[in-house]
Amino acid sequence: MNTLSDVTILDLTHMLSGPYGSQLLADMGANCIKVEPPGNGEGTRKLLANDDMYSIEGVGAYFLTLSRNKKSICIDLKNSEGLALFYELVKHADVVINNFGEGVPKRLGIDYATLKQHNPNIITCSITGFGETGPERNRAAFDLVAQGMGGGISTTGEEGAPPLRAGIPIGDLGGGMFATMGILAALHARNTSGSGQHIDISMQDCQVSMLNYMATMYLMSGVQPPAVGNSHFVHVPYGTFKTQSRYLIVACMGDAFYQKLAIMLDDPELKDEKFATQPMRWEHRHFINERVQQHFEKQSCEYWLEQLKEHRIPAAPVNDFEHALSDPQVVHRQMVVDVPLQNGQTVKQPGNPIKLSGAGEQTFTPPPTLGQHTGEVLQQLLNLSPLKIKELKENGVIA
C-alpha cells in the first residue's frame, strides 16, 4: 500500500501504544524510520525474544508484528552530536511520534517547541497515559491503568462479580489508533495552513471517548451502567449461550427478532403474548435466557448457526483464535498475511484492516534488525558520505 509514501515519520516509540500507531501508518505506506538507542534498541526487541514458542531467531512476537514495514536507525540522543544529527533528520521529516512519559521529550530536547525551530512544518505526536496537561499528567500508566481509569472495566464482567479488563489491550491499542487519526488530521491541516502542530494523545481520554453513548446515558441520568456480562441492558435475549460444541451468540435486538426466535425454537412459553414487547421481556429476562439456554444445549453450535441463519436472526459463534484466524471471511479479506523475515522465512500476522481502492497491492517488509538502515537513511536524507558515517559510528554517535 503506497497511500502515505510521501510521508516520512521518525518513530521514537516503544512497547505497544506508540509502535501500534506507527505500524498502522507504515502499513499505509509511510516511510517509517524507527530511531532506536544503541545497545539493545527499542524495548519490544527483548519481549519474548528467548521464548521458544513465540520467537524466531531471537525476535519475539511483539517486535515481529509491530515493526514490519519500518526501517531502523541507531542514534544516541543523549550524545550532543547525536541530538544534532537527529535535528538534521527532523528537517527532512513530516512527523515525529513518541510515547515517552509526560515531560521526557522536553528533557531530551525532542519536544514540539524545540523541533519546530528546526522544521516549522513538523508535526509531533506524544502518547501518554493521561495527557500533557491536568493534575494527573505525571501519573505512570500502562494498558490496565488506562482501562481502569477510563471507566470501561466497571461495566465488564458478570453482575456482582469482580470487574474484568478487556481481553485485548484496548488501553494501549486505543492510544495508538487515536494517535494515527490525529496525525492524519494534522497532515491534512498542514496542506491548508502550511504549518505543523503538536498532537497530545491521552490513553485515558481515548478510553473515555469509547464509552460513547453509555457515558451520555450516565450524564443524563446519573445511573451507573451495570456490569451485565455478555447480555444487554435493553435487549433480551442478547448474549452467549452454551451448546454441545462451543458457545453461541444470539442478538435479538427488537420485537421482530424475538418473535423469529420463538418460532424457530417452537416453544409455547417463549411464544407467550406477554413477551411480545421489550419491557416484559426485560422484566422476565432470567426466565427467557434460561429457557433459550435449555434449547441451545441440546445441539451443537454449528447446528444452531444454520437454523438461525435460515430464520435471519443475528448470531455468531464465539470464536477462539483458531476459528477467528481461519474464518473464510477473515482469510478472504487478507486479515492474515505472510510477512517476510530477514532469513527468508515468513511469519503469519494480522493484516491491515484499512482497505483503500486506490492504494495498490498490500505488501510488507521484514521487521528491521537493530540499526539496519542507519547508513542508508543518513545517505538518502542527509546526503552524508560513507566516510562521515564511519566517523559517526567510531565516535559512538550512531550504531
Hey, which residues are catalytic here?
Answer: 172
Residues 6+ apart with CB under 8 A from 349: 64, 65, 68, 336, 337, 339
d(CA 179, CA 128): 10
From residue 236, how far is each of 224, 256, 261 by CA, in Å? 20, 12, 11
Residue 223 is classified by DSSP as: P
Compute the 3-state secondary structure of the chain and give helix, strand, coil in percent, each to the nearest 5.
40, 15, 45
Please return the burial class of 3, using the count of CB atoms within 10 Å of its CB with bins 0-12, 13-18 and 19+: middle
Residues 6+ apart with CB under 8 A from 146: 129, 171, 172, 174, 175, 203, 204, 206, 207
d(CA 107, CA 86): 15
d(CA 371, CA 81): 17
Extract the C-alpha cell encoding 372.
Answer: 539496519
Residue type, 18: G
The answer to whether 96 and 121 have CB atoms below 8 angstroms apart is no
Residues in the chain: 399
* DSSP letters for 150-162: HSGGGGSSSTTSP
Tell me which residue has cell 412459553.
269
Residue type, 266: D
